[in-house]
Structure formats: structure tokens, C-alpha cells
């Protein structure tokens, strides 16, 4: 005959209640891990989208920068009247009333229009290098650029007593990404600038 101990019966009953609590705690931990995984995945997708948008903006700005440099290198006919081409030495305010220096200083945030910048592909292919840009890499707005002719800089020469001035022109371009924010403004904006020594 087997004798049951009263203490072993009490332990079995307590274990059943503890199992339920441990199971609920494990379920809560698994739920928290699942929610964390969803948040991490969502964050990674946002980061990848922002990186792609920034890349589109960079490629668009780089295309416009190359066109401006090509126009200078091939000596296209460029009138420095403030409509996309500013003469910093002559006057900071052009005939159109655009304050060139203020616009240049705020190039990253200013509104680029027909009055203050050239649209991409504004020079014909006979003057600049042929372009293959498609739809500007899905940019929300086609890239733009402007030129700034700087005051001549004194140069050096191998000839005695001869000083040749060097003419430098800055090319500034702006490209935007494919996305727009809730307020309608571009999310990714890239502004590039290069200095070009005239021949």
C-alpha cells in the first residue's frame, strides 16, 4: 500500500498556478521581442529610402554641376546679367533686383527660379557635352545651377615683370530627391559647388 504525503499534494497544486504565470511572462517577452523587430525593420526601410532619395538628389546636382563646368570649358556664350550668371565683382545687385550675394549665401534653402539660375540642359549640345539624363533619376524637380564670376586673382608668370590675372568662376548646382514632405517641400536637397579656372 502506497501512502501519499500531504506535502507533495500541496506542491503539485502550487506548481500549476506558477506555470500559468511563467507562461504569461514568456508570452509578454515574446510579444515585446516581436514589436521590437517590427520597429527595427521599419526604421531600416526608412533609412534605405532616405539614402536612395539622397543619392538621387546628389546625382541630379552632379549632372547640373557638370553642365555648368562644360559650358565654361567650351566657352559657351554666357551673359553675366544675374539671370543664372552673377558677376560678383561688378555689382552684388543685378538689373533684375536679385541680390546675388544674399542668394548665393542661402543657396541651400533659397527658391531656385528662372530669374536666378539655369535649368539643367539649358545649353545646346553643340556648346556642351551631350547628355543622357533620362528623367533626372526620378527627381521631383529638375536640377538647376548658377555661375559666379569672381574678381580676378593675381597670378604668377615665368616672364619677368609680367603678372597674369587668373579668372575663376564658381559653379553651384542644386539637385533634389524624389520624395516630398507633408508640406510639399523637397526632403533631400544637395547643393554642390566647384571653382573653375577660365582659360
Report residue 1 as a C-alpha cell.
500500500
Tens-digit pLDDT profile for residues 110-157: 677 777 778 887 776 666 666 555 555 678 888 888 888 877 777 666
* Pairing assessment for the beta strands 168-176 and 189-197 based on DSSP bridges: antiparallel
Among 134, 117, 138, residue whose Cα is nearest residue 55: 138
| pLDDT score, position 31 | 96
Q: What are phi and psi of 145, to 5 degrees?
A: -150, 160
Report residue 4 as a C-alpha cell.
501519499
Domain boundaries, the chain: 6-197
HEC-encoded secondary structure of the chain: CCCCCHHHHHHHHHHHHHHHHHHHHHHHHHHHHHHHHHHHHHHHHHHHHHHHHHHHHHHHHHHHHHHHHHHHHCCCCCCCCCCCEEECCCCCECCCCCEHHHHHHCCCCCCCCCCCCEECCCCCCCCCCCCCCCCHHHCCCCCEEEEEECCCEECCCCCCCCCCEECEEEEEEEEECCCECCCCCECCEEEEEEEEECC
What CA–CA distance (Å, rounded) separates 68 from 178? 23
Cell 543619392 appears where? 55
Report residue 196 as a C-alpha cell.
573653375
The mean of the pLDDT values for the chain is 76
Residue 97 has pLDDT above 50, yes or no: no
Tens-digit pLDDT profile for residues 19-41: 888 899 999 999 999 999 999 99
Residue 185 has pLDDT above 60, yes or no: yes
Q: How many CA atoms lie within 13 A of 145 on its CB side?
A: 27
Amino acid at each position: 500500500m502506497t501512502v501519499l504525503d500531504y506535502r507533495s499534494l500541496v506542491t503539485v497544486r502550487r506548481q500549476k498556478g506558477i506555470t500559468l504565470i511563467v507562461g504569461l511572462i514568456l508570452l509578454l517577452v515574446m510579444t515585446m521581442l516581436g514589436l521590437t523587430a517590427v520597429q527595427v525593420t521599419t526604421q531600416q526601410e526608412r533609412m534605405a529610402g532616405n539614402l536612395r532619395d539622397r543619392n538621387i538628389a546628389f546625382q541630379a546636382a552632379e549632372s547640373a554641376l557638370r553642365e555648368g563646368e562644360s559650358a565654361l570649358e567650351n566657352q559657351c556664350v554666357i551673359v553675366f546679367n544675374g539671370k543664372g550668371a552673377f558677376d560678383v565683382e561688378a555689382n552684388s545687385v543685378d538689373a533684375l533686383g536679385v541680390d546675388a550675394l544674399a542668394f548665393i549665401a542661402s543657396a541651400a534653402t533659397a527658391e531656385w527660379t528662372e530669374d536666378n539660375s539655369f535649368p539643367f540642359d539649358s545649353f545646346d549640345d553643340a556648346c556642351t557635352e551631350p547628355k543622357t539624363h533620362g528623367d533626372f533619376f526620378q527627381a521631383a524637380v529638375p536640377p538647376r545651377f548658377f555661375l559666379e564670376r569672381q574678381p580676378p586673382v593675381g597670378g604668377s608668370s615665368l616672364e619677368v615683370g609680367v603678372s597674369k590675372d587668373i579668372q575663376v568662376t564658381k559653379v553651384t548646382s542644386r539637385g533634389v530627391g524624389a520624395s516630398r514632405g507633408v508640406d510639399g517641400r523637397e526632403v533631400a536637397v544637395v547643393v554642390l559647388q566647384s571653382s573653375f579656372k577660365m582659360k
